Amino acid sequence: MSIRALALDFYKAKQKVVKFEKLLANGSKAEQKELQQELNSAIQEEKILCKMLAGEKESGDFRKKFE
């Protein structure tokens, strides 16, 4: 995946986070739990794309096992 495509996906993910934050602030109590879950998944997606752009990798137990 090219840097341009990653940057575009990151921008879309950031817009999605902003959208869910606004909906959560204006939403009713009944919708808040569902919106919070959607917001959390959008934030996770944004973090992953940000790390991909920065070139960082998460060190997991799988990688540590072979060191």
pLDDT tens profile 11-36: 999 999 999 999 999 988 888 889 99
Break the chain into its structural domains and give their ranges. Answer: 3-65
CA–CA dist 13, 29 (Å, integer): 25
- pTM to 2 decimal places: 0.74
Residue 27 is given by DSSP the state S
Give pLDDT, residue 20: 94
Give pLDDT, residue 2: 80
* Alpha carbon of residue 50 to chain centroid: 8
At residue 10, what are phi and psi to the nearest 5 degrees? -65, -40
Which pair of tokens denotes residue 10? 């990151």
- Name residue, tokens 């060190």: 59
Q: How far is CA 45 from CA 10, 21, 42, 61, in A?
A: 8, 15, 5, 21
Instruction: Band the pLDDT of 60: cuts 50, 70, 90.
Output: low
